[in-house]
Amino acid sequence: MIGIRSYAQLMRLPAIFTVCSNIIAAHLVAVGYWAASGDSATVQPYTLLSTLLAGICLYHGGMILNDCFDFKCDQQERPERPLPAGKIKLKTAWLSGWGLLALGTIFASFLAIQTFSIALLLALTILAYNSGQRQGWVAACKMGLCRYFNWLMGMSAIGLNTDLAMLAIPVFFYVTALTRISQEEAEAADRRALMQAAIVIAIGALFWFAWFVTGLFSGLPGALALLIALILLGKRIIRLSSEFTPESIQAVVGALVFGIIPMDAMLLLSSGQTLAGLLLLLLLFPGKYLGRFLYVT
């Protein structure tokens, strides 16, 4: 049982529901887009399942490799984590991480060549993040790109074009901002990161609203939900600014990670798929439940 818990912790298992949220939302947005364009696009269960497996393997492979690359640092700063605590052998973790990355690209290869190509690009971006400097905006942008490519992979299994690629841009900005805030978890050294992250989120929101102006989005419930979300995010950032401690940052980061699911739901609402967007929110419940026992960052 201890081994299962250690692997679940190493993989950041609660975050699996945010990965599923990305892929499901991307699949449905692409189906809705092509159906509205006059194509006979429908939900494709086999395609969706293969893309989900690809996304899950790539994400959790990246999480395992993250701890492998951080092994020496974690021995000093996070000795309770599975690898430095000796609960999982480092060699086993390396093999598991590389194996999941490979398996993810294999699942993607069952689909369109475009999907396979994006999966390879996602895997390379994961490796670039894990093997590089983890602080600063360059690292944050790499993580944002990982989630953005996850969305592109989900859409490409149905058919990806420039319009659809633009629709997922807010995902990049949100996750980039989230990652920049998370970089302060250990020491809470740079309060400016909060204002910078707020600006990045605002830029992503401007793109989002622009898609309503251009007609790419038409679901008004999505616009209303976005306004409410921005107000709530603003309040959370202001509160964090007045209590800028590692513990407070960790709590906010955990909430923002699960905030990926409502963001995906809002993208569905914005594309006119209200019921699907509301149902997607159900993924919050198992994710948050597991998050009570396992860390997600």
93-115 per-position pLDDT tens digit: 999 999 999 999 999 999 999 99
Confidence class for position 2, pLDDT limits 50, 70, 90: low
What DSSP state is assigned to residue 85?
T
Domain spanning 2-291, CATH architecture: Orthogonal Bundle (1.10)
Q: What is the pLDDT of residues 263-288, one digit of tens each?
A: 999 999 999 999 999 999 999 999 99
Q: What is the pLDDT of residues 47-106, one digit of tens each?
A: 999 999 999 999 999 999 999 998 888 888 788 889 998 899 999 999 999 999 999 999
Q: Which range among 140-154, 202-216, 232-246 shows the weakest confidence by mean pLDDT?
A: 232-246
Amino acid occupying residue 112: A
Amino acid occupying residue 155: M
CB atoms within 10 A of CB 118: 24
Of 191 and 142, the one with more pLDDT: 142
Give the C-alpha separation, 17 to 22, whole Å.
Answer: 9
pLDDT mean over 170-190? 91
Q: Look at residue 191 and tell me whether its pLDDT is greater than 80.
A: yes
pTM (2 decimals)? Answer: 0.94
pLDDT mean over 202-218? 93
Residue 131 burial (CB < 10 Å; 0-12/13-18/19+)?
A: exposed
Percentage of residues in the chain having pLDDT higher than 90 = 74
Cα-based angle 233, 238, 244 (whole degrees, multiple of 5): 115
Amino acid occupying residue 179: T
Domain range summary for the chain, segments of one domain joined by + = 2-291
Cα 281 from chain centroid (whole Å): 15
- Give the tokens for residue 203: 């830029």
What DSSP state is assigned to residue 79?
T
